[in-house]
Amino acid sequence: MSYSGTLRSQYRQSGGAAIDNTATRSAFDPTPARVVLFTDIDRQQWGMVTDWAHPSHYTAIEVGDGGTDNSSGSHVAVAQTFVFNLVLPPRVTACSVGAVMSGALNVKITSAVDTVGIELEGQFSPGSAGHDNPDSAGTVWATGVSAQSPLPLSARALKVAATDSVARTQIQPLTVTVKRTDVTATNAGSGGVLWGLIFRWVRQPLNTYNAGADTADSLSV
Amino acid sequence: MPTITYKPLDLVGVIPGQQMSATPDMMAVVGGNDRWLNTTCAPLLFSTSLMSVTGAATALQVGASTNASSGSPGELARWMVRGNTIRSPITVSVWALVNNAGTTGTLTVSHGGATVTQAVTATTATAFDIAITPTSGTAPLELLISGHTDDSNYVVLVAACARYAPTDRDDGGTGADGYAPLGDQFTGSVSSMTRQNKPVPTEWLARGWNNMRALARDRVACLATLCHPMGSATARANSWVTISASASTLGRLFVDGADNLARSGVLSVYVYAGAGTTGKLVVMVGGGHQYELTISASGWQHQTIDLPATPVTITMYGIRSTGSNEISLMTAQVFRVVT
């Protein structure tokens, strides 16, 4: 399944207004059935499939790192790993991820279609006094285009779907790994807390449908 | 069972002033897309990871846990769902486990007068999709997940998210959500008003516009979710719990710009107030707008807020006013609100 027609900017990217706060329409006789009424519907539909109906999302998490192996003289950070269910909007293949963190943390996120993943690292009030304090938290972003290498892990978006032609909401499990970065062989460090993740969908122009050449997304109902 | 499709057309070259006569192919396709959207449009309702680990992980800290008995299940986590006047089914995707092999844990999802249960027996986090359809009540409606076990061990809810399940309707009049089908383009019915060469009724064109507006107003996306295990209402001092008469940060939400212009939103919060305790929740939206909620008892409150077009951080501060127990922020969500 794929689309290969003309590229079209997403709804909000092209200045679309809030669909939920538009006025209703009434077509009384004699209203000519002009194409502009029809293309208006098409534009609203485009917004409901693309960026308007499926905005970016923030999830508060509050997860600490996995500590160290406590081998005195040879401390090594231990990873705290968990799965996060990402609700993936229609026609999205990548997202920029922001990690809200305090202390000294490294956060790595992978998906089934991006096993290399992205890596976010930051230090906000590291140390025993501030590592577990939401007031000292800051945000680290991994952004960029969705292509994998050669961009460094911290400078690109996370790929979350193989194709942008799935016009339905999907679940994409992500694996999130958190570990401290203020550890040395002789100092176990204090680590930090991951307070939340921001998923900002990459909204590039999308292909329209090319009749006769494309296979449309379909669903049995 | 018919198969519906989504075909986003390229309308470059379509002349806006041209008057349609007989139904062209593209009108049938747009009618099909309308049905596709009514069936599949499923924005995020909430998304939560209930882990609250700040040290070495144990089974009891990797999520919301309970070993309550079936007679009085323990509340694990709760969220708010807005819209859905049509009472479409909701798919709740959870990750859950039990902390001891041989134990059977049960998760109970309650929403809009309906309850659905899910058995959990794995000792590692396992994914489940739980379908629930509200049967009563007026939005916004709470969705609560509670749990119990058949012995002294624990069932643990690690993470949860929710969206609408695909639900098709190709006939009938206007629903409670304001959506009215445009006709059936997929089963070959010759009576469908969007088959080729049928007359073009102007009401169809207004209906197509109003349908998208109806879906936008009734399928309300959640912009940010904060949710703590219900059993931790008195835990994690200096995080989501306070006993201080001075403002303490109980939570932060980040809201990316949801529209191209500033608009109204709503902050829904579930606050816990210990016995004999009252307080306040002060909400700061960015560096500007400030709202104050009075906490007299545990429960949901909804505050209309101004959302800018640009990303903004919403900070919630708790203050204990009277009593000797805790004031806690258990759930906070941000939604668009229609005007």
Cα separation, B179 vs B156, in Å, equals 39
A149 CB burial (10 A radius; 0-12, 13-18, 19+): exposed
Give the distance from residue B205's alpha carbon to the nearest chain A alpha carbon, in angstroms: 6
Say which DSSP state A73 is in: T
- Name the band, by pLDDT with cuts 50, 70 and 90, for residue B117: very high
**pLDDT of B196:** 66
Between residues 271 and 330 of chain B, which touch chain A (CB distance below 8 Å)? none
CB contact under 8 A, A221 and B253: no
pTM comes to 0.93
Cα separation, A192 vs A51, in Å, equals 33
* For residue A82, pLDDT beyond 80: yes
List CB contacts (< 8 A) between B335 and chain A.
none
User: In sequence order, which residues have a C-beta less than 8 Å from that of residue A152 and are 6 or more positions away?
Assistant: none
Cα separation, B15 vs B13, in Å, equals 6
Reported as a single tens digit per residue, the pLDDT across A132-163 is 888 889 999 986 554 455 456 666 889 999 99
Strands B312-322 and B155-164: unpaired
Residue of B18, B33, B207 to mutate when probing chain A, most A C-beta within 10 A: B33
The interface predicted TM-score of the complex, written ipTM, equals 0.92
Average confidence (pLDDT) over B234-242: 71
Token code pair at residue B34: 């309308």
Does A143 reach chain B within 8 Å, measured CB to CB?
no
Q: At what angle do helices A35-49 and B202-218 cross, to 10 degrees?
A: 20
Does A73 reach chain B within 8 Å, measured CB to CB?
no
Cα separation, B28 vs A196, in Å, equals 44
CB B228 within 8 A of CB B330: yes
Nearest to B166, CA basis, from A217, A92, A209 = A217
List CB contacts (< 8 A) between B57 and chain A.
66, 80
Does A221 reach chain B within 8 Å, measured CB to CB?
yes
Cα separation, B3 vs A219, in Å, equals 5
Token code pair at residue B228: 């703590």
Does A220 reach chain B within 8 Å, measured CB to CB?
yes
Reported as a single tens digit per residue, the pLDDT across B300-316 is 999 999 999 999 999 99
Helices (H), B118-253: 202-218
**Which of A2-6, A30-34, A171-175, B134-138 comes out lowest in average pLDDT?**
A30-34
Give the distance from residue B329's alpha carbon to the nearest chain A alpha carbon, in angstroms: 12
Average confidence (pLDDT) over B239-268: 91
* Chain mean pLDDT for chain A: 88
- Three-state helix/strand/coil letters over A2-68: ECCCCEECCCHHHCCCCHHHCCCCCCCCCCCCEHHHHHHHHHHHHHHHCCCCCCCEEEEEEEECCCE
Amino acid at B289: H
Share of chain B above pLDDT 90, in %: 71
* For residue B56, pLDDT beyond 50: no
Cα separation, B293 vs A109, in Å, equals 37
* For residue A116, pLDDT beyond 50: yes
Reported as a single tens digit per residue, the pLDDT across A179-214 is 999 998 888 899 999 999 999 999 999 999 888 889
